[in-house]
A and B are shown apart, each in its own frame.
Chain A
Amino acid sequence: MAEQLLDQIRDVAEGQIDFEGQKLVELLVNVTLALTAVVAFLVGYILQDIKLALQIGLAGTALTFVIAVPPWPFYNRNPVKWLQVGGGLVPPQNLIIDEKSFR
């Protein structure tokens, strides 16, 4: 019972996303943070206002965290298609992995 509950909490806390989602999130993080940096520096330099630069930087960073950390649904649009259990292909009899044969 406790184990089941822990499993459910783990599911929520883990926040898994699929492979395509991982590719996407990496791109988004790099682009938003880099863009934030460029905008913060240029705006701060042009307006000669370092506080504004700091605020833009922190806001952009907060936004990046919001975008990247939770497992938003659009990161899970390409779930991995596993092979059916027991059906379809039968693994070859002589498959050797880690020097242990699978039967």
Chain B
Amino acid sequence: MYTSVVRLQNVFGFFTTVAFVVAAFIAASDFVAERAPIVRTLKTTSVQVVRGRPHYYSSKKEEYAVINFSLDADLSSLFTWNTKQVFVYVTAEWPAADHSTTNATNEAVIWDSIITSPSADHLANHWSRRHEEAAQERGREDGKLVLKNQRHKYKITHPSGKLATTENVTLRLHYNVQPWVGLLTWNQDVDYGYWKALKNGVSKRFKLPAIKEKKPASAGSR
């Protein structure tokens, strides 16, 4: 601490230690913040299977499931001072067609949305939001999502190209909490301390219908 240079180095060194400790405390404060996500409704409103091409120049025809749904959920308790954003997504799940591979499942996101916390609003980039969904999709009111007959964002396929008449399909709501610093966390099926499980986040089982013959221009969002 004799010369200015040494003092500069020492202060900076101690600053990094202190900053790290504070960051650790901030990250740990997540564990004492209560999380109680509520799902009131998650149900399909229309289900179709259409034939289409993966992209405009492709000659291959595949079957696409087009699923629209309604969702009423309150994820506001996920927002604390350390929350940067919550990534909400709805997946469709169905068991493998051939039962040779036991218990194998297929899972695909049909809709997702980023809800930035107020502290990260300046980072939300609107260009990536897709046109008509933009307004309702953001769910800006502290994570309260009320979606009625929401259009799917992604048409789903299967590597085999076959999807029609698939049985036992369910929709499932998920979330991923992105902190400013610390651990990334997802929805959980059981309670951990102050964090309650996400209940009721699964739709009723449904069956994909037979192919509806129509001419889709192209399966734009794959």
Do A and B come into direct contact in the complex, CB within 8 Å?
A: yes
Q: Which residue of B lies closest to A24 (CB)?
A: B1
Please determine whether A33 and B81 come into contact, CB atoms closer than 8 angstroms: no
Please determine whether B4 and A29 come into contact, CB atoms closer than 8 angstroms: no
* Interface segment out of the listed B8-16, B35-43, B152-160: B8-16
Contacts A25-B1, A69-B8 supplied; 12 other A-B pairs, CB < 8 Å:
A14-B3, A14-B4, A29-B14, A33-B18, A34-B18, A36-B18, A47-B81, A48-B81, A50-B82, A53-B26, A57-B22, A65-B8
Contact digits for A61-81, partner B, Cβ 8 Å, 1 yes 0 no:
100110011110000000000
* Residue B165 CB within 8 A of the other chain: no
Q: How large, as a class, is the contact surface on chain A?
A: 20 to 34
Chain A residues, CB < 8 A from B82: 50
* Residue B56 CB within 8 A of the other chain: no
Contact digits for B104-147, partner A, Cβ 8 Å, 1 yes 0 no:
00000000000000010000000000000000000000000000
**Please, how many angstroms separate the alpha-carbon atoms of A85 and B11 in the complex?**
37
**Please, how many angstroms separate the alpha-carbon atoms of A51 and B11 in the complex?**
23
Residues of A at the B interface (CB closer than 8 Å) are 13-17, 22, 25-26, 29-30, 33-34, 36-37, 40-41, 44-45, 47-51, 53, 57, 61, 64-65, 68-71
Chain A residues, CB < 8 A from B5: 13-14
A9 CB to closest chain B CB, in angstroms? 13
Residue tally, chain B, CB below 8 Å to A: 23
Partner of B3, one of A15, A36, A48, A57: A15
A70 CB to closest chain B CB, in angstroms? 7
Please determine whether B81 and A30 come into contact, CB atoms closer than 8 angstroms: no
A51 CB to closest chain B CB, in angstroms? 6
Please determine whether B7 and A25 come into contact, CB atoms closer than 8 angstroms: yes
**Please, how many angstroms separate the alpha-carbon atoms of A57 and B219 in the complex?**
50
Partner of B29, one of A16, A22, A45: A45
Chain B residues, CB < 8 A from A41: 22, 25-26
Partner of A64, one of B11, B21, B180: B11
Q: Which residue of A lies closest to B33 (CB)?
A: A48
**Please, how many angstroms separate the alpha-carbon atoms of A26 and B8 in the complex?**
12
CB-defined A-B contacts under 8 Å, sample of 14: A14-B3, A17-B2, A25-B1, A29-B7, A29-B11, A37-B22, A41-B25, A50-B180, A51-B119, A57-B19, A64-B15, A65-B11, A69-B4, A71-B4
Chain A residues, CB < 8 A from B26: 41, 44, 50, 53
B123 CB to closest chain A CB, in angstroms? 12
